[in-house]
Structure 1
Amino acid sequence: MNETRRAATRITAAFADAGVTGQLHALDIDSGTAVSVAAAQPAPTASLHKVCLLATLYREAAAGRIDRTRQIEIPASARTPGLSGIALMRDAVRLSLRDLATLVVAVSDNAAADILWHEVGLDTVNRTMAALGLTETVAVHTMADIGDLLRTERDALTDPAAPNGASALDPARTNRSTPRELAALFAAIWRDEVCPGELGAELRALLGGQAWSHRLASGFPFDDVLVSGKTATLPTLRHEAGVVEYPDGGRYAVAVFTRAASTAVILPAADAVVGTAARLAVDALRAR
């Protein structure tokens, strides 16, 4: 058994030990070598689709169709609810599109994301993903839409016998992608294939500004290893995708999706296994 197959076996065991069903795709950005576990199976993306949104924003800016520095006045009313960012602010704010994008990554700001969804458009995001060859990556809902679904389908979230389940957790009925395609998107961003030059560098810097370090970054607790990424969380779901960069120049795009049986908000083992699985995959790629 070669190194990547051994890694896949160990990753599958780590998912089981953490009490989750897991998927993973880890890609050496420069060589194309990969480690995969159920990487082609579609899953709900939740906040991971914000990366697709921001990639589209910057690609549209590169084409001259959007001015990312344009300022928007955001009143205190009519904001998408959320646990962070401008959703918690009590007064009107004025921000540029790129500063809204910064909040989308830094604290997974749902209100900021939905302003950008309105500016960019679901159809534009889907066309951009298709143009990048990511045909399994499809946006159906804004963050407000997902919140509405969660509120109206509360019984389906907690009852496994519910006839149709919760649509917010069904990849056939909500925003979806695969670990393979999300890792490919991050690899494309890091290779300047989404947008080049200054805009590409700005997008990468933005994706390096996430505040949360309890998932992907927990697997790489080193001062000289840079982890950029975006988390996603819904009842039972804990995902993260991003890029791990080593001081010797190694660059690895990684996407880890997990689903737990429990809808509990606090499941430390399910969070931690995202970093564990990513580290096992990247170690195998570096060993090659």
Structure 2
Amino acid sequence: MTPSAEKRIRDVFADAGCIGWLHARRVGTPDGSAGDIAVGADDLVVLASVYKLPLFVSLCRAFDSGELSPTATVRVTPADCTPGPTGVSTFRDPIVLSWRDLALSMMTVSDNAAADLVLGRVGLESVERVLSDLGLTSTRVIGGAADAHSSLVIDAHAHTTAEAFAALADNDEAWTVSAYDPSYASATTPRDMTTLLDAIWTGRAVPGPHAAFVRQAMSAQVWQHRIRSGFPYSDVDVAGKTGTIGAIRNEVAVVTFPGEIPVAVAVFTRAARADPVLPVVDAAIGHAARIAVTELRSGRLD
């Protein structure tokens, strides 16, 4: 990695008022064999909703083994669901969905309720097996969105999830909450996440047609304000998964230019502020990813 690229990435994070961690590598090549981009790539960071990606892999393995049919249905009562700004918890009436469609909602709009239903069906043990099988030794998933919200309510001395998030967004308070601490929250490293992305794209994580389903769902993610913002081109595919909680803003993605080797990139940040909307930090994630991917595409690291 050229010193200028690392400095430029660090400057992007500093200018946006956040701490940032990043790793990028070409898909299908051993980590580091053809060069990689690393900025705190082996530091522990908070997963937030990025945990839904290994959970999705676990579900698709259950589909592949026949343990669960993707078209089997589940009745969902929104009032009983984990709250969230998107997905089935925002609905007014009970609905019936297949596990496959629940997974799509979990990935494309980061549906918390769908994710907790999926986690309840496959279990934490199956997610742990995925992490172990793929050598993601620094990654730990300790629970779903409901668990994170419960912890946040306690830490913020609140009565409801809404009160807890409102308290967390108050920049006049210096909150120390477990949701921000990778020692207590579900955690990973940027390098582990590019390893997971590589395993998905090369078919090691999930075999056969279910691997394509994972990639298609990630390509259909609706959020365009982070890594996608660095690649505003119609012929470039950005297949990703975001994660957000308070001051934590993340995304992991595979960026594919036509006719080129895809590049896996993982960007994790913690902002100085906890405003519900921080477009400068979102844009910094895209900018940092663009620097890393451009460096790898240039071939200067070979």
What residue number does 1:80 align with?
Answer: 82
Q: Which of 116, 121, 124 is the equivalent residue of 1:122?
A: 124
Which has the higher mean CA deviation after the structures are superposed, 26-35 or 212-221? 26-35
Matched, 1:26 2:24: yes
The alignment covers a number of residue pairs equal to 283
> Are the aligned partners of 2:79 and 2:89 in contact in 1 as well (CA < 8 Å)?
no
Q: Which of 46, 49, 52 is the equivalent residue of 1:47?
A: 49
What residue number does 1:218 align with?
Answer: 229
C-alpha separation in 2, matches of 1:30 and 1:43: 24
For 2:58, the aligned partner's letter is: T
Provide TM-score, normalisation by structure 1: 0.94
What residue number does 2:61 align with?
Answer: 59
Q: Secondary structure at the match of 1:244?
A: strand
Deviation of 1:134 after TM superposition, in Å, equals: 0.3
Mapping of 1:258-269 within 5 angstroms?
A: 258-269=269-280
Instruction: List gaps (5 residues or longer) in structure 2.
Output: 158-166
Matched, 1:184 2:182: no
For 1:189, the aligned partner's letter is: I
> Are the aligned partners of 1:29 and 1:252 in contact in 2 as well (CA < 8 Å)?
yes
Q: Which of 151, 168, 171 is the equivalent residue of 2:182?
A: 171
C-alpha separation in 1, matches of 2:185 and 2:282: 23
C-alpha separation in 2, matches of 1:250 and 1:48: 23
C-alpha separation in 1, matches of 2:14 and 2:79: 44
Q: Secondary structure at the match of 2:22?
A: strand
Q: Secondary structure at the match of 2:61?
A: helix
What residue number does 1:272 align with?
Answer: 283
What residue number does 1:248 align with?
Answer: 259
Deviation of 1:13 after TM superposition, in Å, equals: 1.0
C-alpha separation in 2, matches of 1:168 and 1:271: 19
C-alpha separation in 1, matches of 2:100 and 2:4: 42
Matched, 1:286 2:297: yes
For 1:171, the aligned partner's letter is: P
Which has the higher mean CA deviation after the structures are superposed, 198-207 or 110-119? 198-207
Q: Once the two structures are aligned, what percentage of the paired residues are identical?
A: 40
Deviations 1:160-191 (CA, angstroms, capped at 9, x unpaired): 3x6xx211111111111111111111111000
Output the aligned Cα RMSD.
1.5
C-alpha separation in 1, matches of 2:206 and 2:54: 13
Q: Which of 8, 11, 22 is the equivalent residue of 1:10?
A: 8
Deviations 1:9-61 (CA, angstroms, capped at 9, x unpaired): 21011111111100000111133431010011111101000001001111222
> Are the aligned partners of 1:126 and 1:137 in contact in 2 as well (CA < 8 Å)?
no
Mapping of 1:125-164 within 5 angstroms?
A: 125-154=127-156, 157=168, 159-160=173-174
C-alpha separation in 1, matches of 2:258 and 2:39: 27
Instruction: List gaps (5 residues or longer) in structure 1.
Output: none
Matched, 1:201 2:212: yes
For 2:125, the aligned partner's letter is: D
Deviation of 1:65 after TM superposition, in Å, equals: 2.1
C-alpha separation in 2, matches of 1:31 and 1:185: 13
C-alpha separation in 1, matches of 2:25 and 2:155: 36
Deviation of 1:124 after TM superposition, in Å, equals: 1.3
Deviations 1:132-162 (CA, angstroms, capped at 9, x unpaired): 10011111121011112222222694643x6
> Are the aligned partners of 2:78 and 2:90 in contact in 1 as well (CA < 8 Å)?
no
The alpha-carbon distance between structure 1 residues 261 and 149, as it changes in their structure 2 partners (threshold 3 A), is same
C-alpha separation in 1, matches of 2:37 and 2:132: 24
Q: Secondary structure at the match of 1:77?
A: helix
Provide TM-score, normalisation by structure 2: 0.90
> Are the aligned partners of 1:240 and 1:256 in contact in 2 as well (CA < 8 Å)?
yes
